[in-house]
Structure 1
Amino acid sequence: MTEPLHVLIADDSVLLREGLVRVLSEAGFVTVGAFGDAEALLTAAKTVPFDVALLDVRMPPTFRDEGVRAALALHAAQPGVGVLLLSQYVETTYARELLGSGAGGMGYLLKDRLASLDELTDAVTRVASGGTVLDPEVVAQLVGRRADPLAALTPRERETLQLMAEGRTNAAIAGLLHVGVGAVEKNVSAIFAKLGLDDSGTDHRRVLAVLTWLDAAA
């Protein structure tokens, strides 16, 4: 008989972790470790043989992108394993980051899908075999954005983004547009929101916004 897939889990919710262990067992998988944070999973992954890791996107200590960072680290260290990210919301920035890595065996699934044993089983099996799994809602937003990523921006927001692409600071943009810095900060926040760029606690969103502008202008 085929050896069952071995799975590692990381999610800060005890109830969700226990639920995943139970559901995976019903599907014929074997959970070899379940942890409350990504760091503990990464430590276990160095010594425990596994086929797939299931990680929440946002976990302690910052609740931003720990799962994404861990997913990329796992694939860099062990390219043959599968990684399935779980998220409460559609966060296309993180989905694009996974796709941008160029690695197979990656997946991004909304937690709502966990109610379906068939969908979860299919996703785990596919990433284990080197396939890519993207939640249909994530795909819909990625495709919609690709059609015209800047369509939702106002003329002033487009001006602001163009100046950001030139490397201008918020203060410099305010001077060029003859507005207050607060108004520029408001426009920048609106740009991030409309482009679906979630807060990662760094300047990464600013870079991604500029990349979107450059892609649209190409």
Structure 2
Amino acid sequence: MKFLLVDDHALFRDGLRYILQQLPETSEIMEAGNFPDGLKLAEQHPELDLALLDLNMPGSEGAISIRYFHQRYPHIPVMVVSSEEDRAIMEKVMDYGAMGYVCKNSSAQVVLGAVGLVLSGGLYIPPQVMRHGGTAARNGDGQLDRRRLHTNEYGLTARQMDVLGHLAEGLSNKEIATAMNLAEGTVKIHIAAAYQILRVSNRMEAVRVAEKLGLIGAANE
């Protein structure tokens, strides 16, 4: 997996890098000390699995910059890691496309959990937002708004759909990783997330259910 860390404090980047290295299949961690340099790295590395951005740093305009990053690189999931704990700002950041928001005073366990959730296609909603029923997290019925998860009507992300298509072709995890330019560990995360969403436990069941729902073409077509 490839990560991008963008924060103007080198000491904090060191700590976050150490935490990310605890994840399996972490292959490369790129760093930038300001927002413009972060944009350059994102441009040069479209295969990034996740970008972790600070809000307040040189070249950044806060939440607006998160929206700009998401609009420019919609294929790269964004998670904000910031010392800002204002709930309104958290909600705005999530509305602007961030897939997660973690405060800098969070434990390593919380960070790892949030990163894992986002990598699997989920949305990490800050407890401060959940407790107050924030608009970024829920719709008018109080239910999680799946549109904010960047998913289709069944809750599957675009990458999970791509993985299902490759499963239907009979590709191995390694072959899928090569085809999608991803780490094999990332492919396993997407497969596990798809299994959970489709409520299946193996490849054959996943393909069968996906075909039944019309998510992929029948294998014999």
Alignment of 1:139 with 2:100, yes or no, is no
CA separation in 1, counterparts of 2:118 and 2:66? 12
2:51 aligned residue: 53
Identity within the alignment, % = 26
Alignment of 1:17 with 2:13, yes or no, is yes
1:38-49 to 2 correspondences below 5 Å: 38-48=35-45, 49=47
Alignment of 1:106 with 2:106, yes or no, is no
CA contact 1:24–1:31 (8 Å) conserved in 2: no
CA separation in 2, counterparts of 1:94 and 1:141? 14
Classify 1:100/1:26 alpha carbon distance in 2 versus 1 (closer, same or farther; 3 Å).
closer
| Offset at residue 142 of structure 1 (A) | 5.4
1:128-167 to 2 correspondences below 5 Å: 128-141=119-132, 143=134
1:78 aligned residue: 73
After superposition, give the CA deviation of every residue in 1:97-137 in whole Å (9 maximum; x if it has no partner): 23334x4x611111121x32x32122112222332112213
CA separation in 2, counterparts of 1:60 and 1:97? 20
Aligned to 1:134, what secondary structure does the other structure show?
A: coil
Classify 1:61/1:70 alpha carbon distance in 2 versus 1 (closer, same or farther; 3 Å).
closer
CA contact 2:53–2:79 (8 Å) conserved in 1: yes
1:36 aligned residue: 33
| RMSD over equivalenced CA pairs, Å | 2.4
- TM-score normalised per structure 1: 0.54
The AA in structure 2 aligned to 1:12 is D
The AA in structure 1 aligned to 2:69 is L
CA separation in 2, counterparts of 1:39 and 1:141? 34
CA separation in 2, counterparts of 1:125 and 1:70? 24
2:90 aligned residue: 95
CA separation in 2, counterparts of 1:91 and 1:35? 25
CA contact 1:81–1:128 (8 Å) conserved in 2: no
Larger radius of gyration: 1
CA contact 1:42–1:70 (8 Å) conserved in 2: no
Structure with higher helix content: 1
| Offset at residue 82 of structure 1 (A) | 1.3
Gaps of 5+ in 1: 144-218
Gaps of 5+ in 2: 135-221
The AA in structure 2 aligned to 1:41 is G
CA contact 2:35–2:59 (8 Å) conserved in 1: no
CA contact 1:53–1:82 (8 Å) conserved in 2: yes
Classify 1:13/1:79 alpha carbon distance in 2 versus 1 (closer, same or farther; 3 Å).
same
- Count of residue correspondences: 133
CA contact 2:87–2:128 (8 Å) conserved in 1: no
CA contact 2:36–2:59 (8 Å) conserved in 1: no
- TM-score normalised per structure 2: 0.53
